[in-house]
Amino acid sequence: MAQTELKRELANRHVQLIAIGGTIGTGLFLGSGKAIQQAGPSIMITYLIVGIAVFFVMRALGELLLSKAGYQSFTDIAEDYLGPRAAFITGWTYWFCWIMTAMADVIAVGIYVNYWFDIPQWVPAIICLIILLALNLLTVKNFGELEFWFALIKVITILALIGIGVILLIIGFKTDSGSVTIRNLWEHGGFFPNGASGFLFSFQMVVFAYVGVELVGVSAAETSNPEKNIPSAINKIPLRILFFYVGALFVLLCINPWTELNAAESPFVKTFSLVGIPIAAGIINFVVLTSAASACNSGMFSTSRILYNLSRKNQSSPHFAKLNKNHVPGNSLFISTLVISIGTLLSKIIPGQAFGIVTTISAICFIWVWGVVLVCHIKYKKTRPGLQAKSKFKAPLTPAINYAVLTLFAVILIIMLFAEETRPALLFTPLWFILLFILYSIRSNKSKNNHDIDIINPKG
């Protein structure tokens, strides 16, 4: 008999570490190099601004998810508050978001492996995909365990980095670039060395750094105790932002001037190389490699569950709703992995530009998804006051903060339009939404015609 329901096998420790894994990934370990080159030390402010905005998105999502027991993801929420068309577009866009993100992660795997071996980037990327696919086909508990240990490695590494950085700062350790000092934050062109434009252009990569934080919401259907686990994970996001992002970057920029960091390399690996600890640099490279694999693992998990939910809502092929004997949506997992593998092709064709292109598209689409969550929460407050009154996990400062964050997202999109690197991806992305709009109209008309035929020729 075919399995039809996902298993609730994710325990609290899995959810907590999934939340951490979602907020520490390739965007920080690799993408921050580019962001630092654009904004200099002021990048810490960019991470803080976007991090605060994302926290309020997550509080809105958390309240919505817990307001109705039947919600399995925010596509269900979008359908409830904005209608089936919005759910169709948001569901497929979220799938596309994670496809782009996972592509960026497999590209990053190739970049990290090149630190040790001079081989084509696409080779380790393919190997990584095959291993993760095999593990994800087993049980959702495997996904939880993988993320638990991957995230634990990341947390320990950043804790060690901050600890070592503080010690180097106290003793005034000297590197090839000079002394480890807090003055490195303003002595090399100032705190805003590239002016307002550099600061503003850094927002795209910082938005990408936070993608995946909402994975707690995607995993709600497979969480053993969502009423307890989801609020707990969401409420710890601000501390993680301050510590893992702002704290880590503060230490990095005190150890070495921002001018010494390369946009094409991980600033974490580069820092230990510049300090003169090559063994530590190799260890850090291994950690950021596992981080990329972790993020790709999250991408495979989320895209397969999104396809599963879309199929259950009759918004994709019914084949994607089939679960294997381990209660895993195997068909959805296979097709998502196949599409993600296009990232390895990009690594072969345009190795230098591939990462930047897919991260920009991912950031734009995630802004759409986060925006939909905020709009749904506004409608929830206006149309379901009874539910809102009973909520045990009320989002703070609403609806004013929802409008403020939506405005910030709109400003970031405008900034991308003026940045030469991000403009092509921003102009391309609307084609995706036009395609979805057309596909939904075709499906709706086909469904309506079939319904009319059934009325005219009822089966006896």
Given the structure tokens 């390399």, which residue do they identify? 265
Residue 20's identity, in one-letter code, is I
Dist CA 414 CA 10 (whole Å): 39
Residue 2, pLDDT score: 44
Backbone angles phi, psi at 10, to 5 degrees: -90, 115
225-254 core/surface letters (b: 16 or more CB in 10 A; e: else): ebeebbbebbeebeebbeebbbbbbbbbbb
With a cut of 70, say whether residue 223 has pLDDT above it: no
In terms of average pLDDT, the best of 212-221, 336-345, 398-407 is 398-407
Average confidence (pLDDT) over 92-101:
87
With a cut of 70, say whether residue 11 has pLDDT above it: no
Tokens of 259: 């001018």
Average confidence (pLDDT) over 103-120:
84
In terms of average pLDDT, the best of 31-35, 182-186, 227-231, 329-333 is 182-186
Work out the mean pLDDT of the chain and round it to a whole number: 81
What is the rounded end-to-end Cα distance, in angstroms, of the chain? 29
Tokens of 357: 């292109």
The separation between CA 184 and the C-alpha centre of its own chain, rounded to angstroms, equals 30
Residue 385, pLDDT score: 87
Per-residue 3-state assignment (H helix, E strand, C coil) for 194-258: CHHHHHHHCHHHHHHHHCCCCHHHHHHHHECCHHHHHHHHHHCHHHHHHHHHHHHHHHHHHHCCH
Asked if 302 contacts 218 with a C-beta cutoff of 8 angstroms, the reply is yes
Helix (H) or strand (E) holding 179: strand 178-179
Dist CA 13 CA 35 (whole Å): 32
Which of 210-224, 270-284, 335-349 comes out lowest in average pLDDT?
Answer: 210-224
* DSSP assignment of 59-101: HHHHHHHHH-TT--SHHHHHHHHH-HHHHHHHHHHHHHHHHHH
Write the pLDDT tens digit of every residue in 236-247.
777 777 787 888
| Of residues 403 and 167, more confidently modeled | 403
With a cut of 70, say whether residue 110 has pLDDT above it: yes
Longest dimension (CA), the chain: 87
In terms of average pLDDT, the best of 7-21, 116-130, 187-201, 320-334 is 187-201
Average confidence (pLDDT) over 268-290:
76
Asked if 194 contacts 38 with a C-beta cutoff of 8 angstroms, the reply is yes
With a cut of 70, say whether residue 328 has pLDDT above it: yes
With a cut of 90, say whether residue 82 has pLDDT above it: yes
Q: Percent of the chain beyond pLDDT 70?
A: 85
Q: Tell me the CA distances in angstroms from 248 to 4, 163, 184, one per residue in order.
A: 43, 10, 15
Q: Tell me the CA distances in angstroms from 14 to 18, 220, 299, one per residue in order.
A: 6, 12, 16
- Give the pLDDT band (50/70/90) at residue 1: very low
- Give the pLDDT band (50/70/90) at residue 10: low
Dist CA 72 CA 442 (whole Å): 26
Q: What pTM, to 2 d.p., does this model score? A: 0.83
The separation between CA 152 and the C-alpha centre of its own chain, rounded to angstroms, equals 18
- Give the pLDDT band (50/70/90) at residue 378: very high
Helix (H) or strand (E) holding 50: helix 43-67
Work out whether the CA dihedral 30, 416, 212, 166 comes out positive or negative.
positive
Given the structure tokens 């980095």, which residue do they identify? 161
| Of residues 445 and 360, more confidently modeled | 360
Asked if 232 contacts 12 with a C-beta cutoff of 8 angstroms, the reply is yes
With a cut of 70, say whether residue 222 has pLDDT above it: no
Given the structure tokens 């106290």, which residue do they identify? 170
Write the pLDDT tens digit of every residue in 26-51.
667 777 888 888 999 999 999 999 98
